[in-house]
C-alpha cells in the first residue's frame, strides 16, 4: 500500500509544479505588458524564411558595403521570388509600411488579396504605390508578397520601410522607423 501512495504523489507534485509554472509565466506576461504607454522600441523588419523561387529553390541575401543595403542572389527574367517578412513594432503600433521597386519596367510586385489588405489598412493606403497605412492596434504581422523579374538589370532595388507610433525624446536613443534596400540583379534567362 505504501508503494501505491508513493506512485500517486508525483501526480500531486506535477499539478503543483504545473500551477507554479503557469503562475510564473503569467507574471512574466503581465509584467512585460505596456501598461503605461511609456515603452518605446525601434521597429524591426526581418525575413521569416529565405526568399524562395517559384520552383522552391531558396535564395541567399548577402551584406553589401553600404549600411542598410543587401544583395539578393541573381534571378532570371520570368522568375517569381516569394518573400515572407515579419514586421514588429514590439509594444508600439505599426503605422506605415512601404514596399517600392526601382522601376515597373524591371519588376512587378504581387501583393496579398485586396480584401485581405482592406481588412487591416486605412483608406489612405495606396497599394499600387506600395504604401500601407495600418489600422490601430497591430504591433506585429507577417507580410507576404511576390517579386516578378521582368527585364534584365544589375541595379534593380526593392525598398522596404516600416514606421511605428513609438515616441523618442531628445535624450533617448532610437527611432520609430526601420528600412533597408535589397538589390535585385536580374539576368536574361538562358534557353
Concatenating the DSSP letter of every residue in 84-117 gives EEEEE-TTS-EEEEEEEES-TTTEEEEPPPHHHH
At 128-174, the pLDDT tens digits run: 999 999 999 999 999 999 999 999 999 999 999 999 999 887 766 78
Torsions phi, psi for 31 (to 5 deg): -75, -20
Cell numbers that stand for 81 in this block: 521570388
pLDDT attached to residue 138: 94
pLDDT attached to residue 7: 41
In the three-class reduction of DSSP (H, G, I as helix; E, B as strand; rest coil), residue 172 is classed as coil
C-alpha closest to that of 92 among 164, 183, 172, 19: 164
Distances in whole angstroms, Cα of residue 147 to Cα of each of 71, 118, 160, 175, 189: 15, 21, 13, 28, 16
pLDDT at 126: 97
pLDDT band at 104 (very low <50, low <70, confident <90, very high): confident
The three cell numbers of residue 61 are: 541575401
CB neighbour list of residue 87: distance below 8 Å, 6 or more residues apart: 43, 44, 45, 94, 97, 140, 141, 142, 143, 162
What is the fold, at CATH topology level, of the domain defined by 44-187? Answer: Immunoglobulin-like (2.60.40)
Q: What pLDDT, on the 0 to 100 scale, is given for residue 20?
A: 54
Q: Tell me the CA end-to-end span of the chain in Å, nearest whole number.
A: 80
Cell numbers that stand for 84 in this block: 515572407
176: left (phi over 0), alpha (psi -120 to 50) or beta: alpha
pTM for this predicted structure: 0.77
Confidence (pLDDT) at 19: 56
Rounded Cα distance, 163 and 179, in Å: 9
Length, in residues, of the chain:
191
24, containing H or E segment? helix 2-31
- Give the pLDDT score at 60: 96
Q: Does pLDDT of 14 surpass 60?
A: no
Task: Decide which of 81 and 35 is more confident.
Answer: 81
pLDDT of residue 10: 46
Tens digits of residue pLDDT in 27-78: 555 544 544 446 789 999 999 999 999 999 999 999 999 999 999 999 999 9
Amino acid at each position: 500500500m505504501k508503494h501505491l501512495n508513493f506512485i500517486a504523489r508525483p501526480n500531486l507534485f506535477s499539478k503543483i509544479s504545473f500551477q507554479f509554472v503557469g503562475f510564473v509565466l503569467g507574471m512574466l506576461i503581465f509584467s512585460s505588458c505596456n501598461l503605461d504607454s511609456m515603452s518605446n522600441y525601434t521597429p524591426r523588419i526581418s525575413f521569416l524564411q529565405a526568399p524562395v523561387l517559384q520552383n522552391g529553390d531558396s535564395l541567399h541575401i548577402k551584406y553589401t558595403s553600404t549600411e542598410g543595403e543587401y544583395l539578393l542572389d541573381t534571378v532570371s527574367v520570368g522568375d517569381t521570388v516569394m518573400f515572407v517578412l515579419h514586421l514588429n513594432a514590439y509594444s508600439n503600433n505599426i503605422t506605415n509600411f512601404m514596399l517600392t521597386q526601382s522601376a515597373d519596367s524591371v519588376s512587378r510586385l504581387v501583393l496579398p488579396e485586396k480584401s485581405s489588405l482592406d481588412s487591416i489598412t486605412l483608406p489612405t493606403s495606396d497599394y499600387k504605390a506600395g504604401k500601407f497605412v495600418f489600422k490601430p492596434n497591430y504591433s506585429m504581422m507577417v507580410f507576404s508578397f511576390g517579386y516578378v523579374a521582368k527585364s534584365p538589370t544589375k541595379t534593380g532595388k526593392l525598398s522596404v520601410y516600416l514606421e511605428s507610433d513609438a515616441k523618442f525624446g531628445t535624450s533617448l536613443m532610437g527611432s520609430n522607423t526601420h528600412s533597408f534596400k535589397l538589390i535585385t540583379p536580374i539576368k536574361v534567362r538562358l534557353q
